Amino acid sequence: MLCTARVLIFISAILAGTVPGVAGRDPVVAADRIYFSVLNKEEKPVTGLTAADFELRVNGKLAPMEGFHAGLPPVDRSIPLVAWILIDFNPHVSEAMIRNQAGAAAAVFGMLNPESALGVKLVSDQSETLAPLAHDPAGLRDAFLQFGQRRTERRVGLSRNSADVGDVGIARAMELALDEMDSYIASSPSLNGRELHRAIMIISDGNLNPAYNLKRFYARAAREGLFLYPVFVPRPTYGDWVRDYFDLAKKTAGVASVFGAIRPGSEMLPLPRSEVNQNALNANFIHMTRDLNGKYSFEVPLTSTGKEMRIKLKCKVKGIKIRLPRTIVP
């Protein structure tokens, strides 16, 4: 009878979200899922690894990889994606080039789970929504077709459905986009409590204000599992400042690529040749969806006291690099 009572107490604790801890340890109340990338030298995801291929340390001590999920194959469609596409107002991002990608934008939903939602924003000193978050291929197509017209309207001061981002432009626009992403997910019953991916693709010539400190945003992106996919639109000349743009991917476990290039890669200089012909952006969508499917993850148990834990992760397989954006939990 005493044994049965203890079992009932333990089950009640699980249902309440609190499991009694061992004497001297804090009780576990929940667990955070931590995502990370496993990439080869070309920044393509490496799949097929197991928990035994990694070494996890929590506060300096070896720890088991609880709730381990391996990377999925590129064709997997099991996890919904909620993502924004931010298009830079900059003149180097030409109207014709964006208009030619309307078909690729509409077709991207064919690579995704049916519950996925994408939207498009034009970013200058304001962030204007060209297509709201939705599962709407026609809406994405129209947003790309209307890019030039809306940019012209922006030049003469017209504004609709926009928010001020000032001279920090894309950096602030990303923060606002994440706010809207949170609201969309919270208001979507089919996504509540479900594993999903969040991403932002930024199409730009690297127009990132270096004076804006993104440290707080990176920390938030790591907590919420947001991955950034900067797509670089080459200009006649560029310098080391382009690395700041590619760092958006490195610091959030995303992957950077050049517009239309068949290979991703933010560590290759000179950069691979870009393609701006019709539907060239399809290559960048493939880079993004393949990378998202290839994410590995594990769980870190949280305690009722909320003590901060520092995590480190390394791969035992040679020639592999890991991007772990979240190193502090909670």
In a domain, 236, yes or no: yes
Domain presence at residue 16: yes
On whether the CB atoms of residues 325 and 251 are closer than 8 A, the answer is yes
Pick from 226, 281, 225: which is nearest to 257 by CA? Answer: 281
> What integer pLDDT is reported at residue 156 of this predicted model?
52
The half-sphere exposure of 83 on its side-chain side, counting CA atoms within 13 A, is 27
By the 10 Å C-beta count (0-12 exposed, 13-18 middle, 19+ buried), 63 is classed as middle
Same domain, 128 and 33: no
Report how far residue 316's alpha carbon sits from residue 319's, in angstroms, rounded to the nearest whole number: 9
Asked if residue 241 and residue 123 are part of one domain, the reply reads yes
What pLDDT does residue 8 have? Answer: 38
Distances from the Cα of 196 to the Cα of 21, 69, 106, 143, 286, angstroms: 30, 13, 21, 24, 18
Contact in structure between 198 and 227 (CB atoms under 8 Å): yes
In this structure, are 136 and 229 located in the same domain? yes
Same domain, 176 and 313: no
Instruction: Please list the rounded mean pLDDT of every run of 10 residues in the chain (330 residues).
Output: 39 38 56 95 94 97 96 95 96 93 97 97 94 98 94 66 90 96 96 94 92 94 96 83 90 94 73 82 96 97 86 95 94
Residues 315 and 217 in one domain: no
Domains: count for the chain: 2
Residue type, 112: L
Tokens encoding 184: 């969309």
For residue 76, being part of any structural domain is answered with no
Residues 199 and 103 in one domain: yes
The residue segments making up the domain with residue 57 are 2-71+295-329
Same domain, 65 and 122: no
How far apart (Å, rounded) are the C-alpha atoms in residues 307 and 279? Answer: 49
17 and 102, same domain (yes or no): no
Residue 248 and residue 260 in one domain:
yes
Spatial distance between the Cα atoms of 144 and 197, rounded to a whole number of angstroms: 23
Q: Are 189 and 251 contained in the same domain? A: yes
CATH (domain of 218): 3.40.50.410
Q: Are residues 37 and 116 in the same domain?
A: no
Same domain, 262 and 306: no
Name the token pair of 181: 């992403």
Which residue in the block uniquely carries the two structure tokens 């995502």?
A: 35
Domain contains 319: yes
Q: Look up the pTM and report it.
A: 0.88
Count CB neighbours of 215 within 10 A.
Answer: 8
pLDDT at residue 151, as a whole number: 82
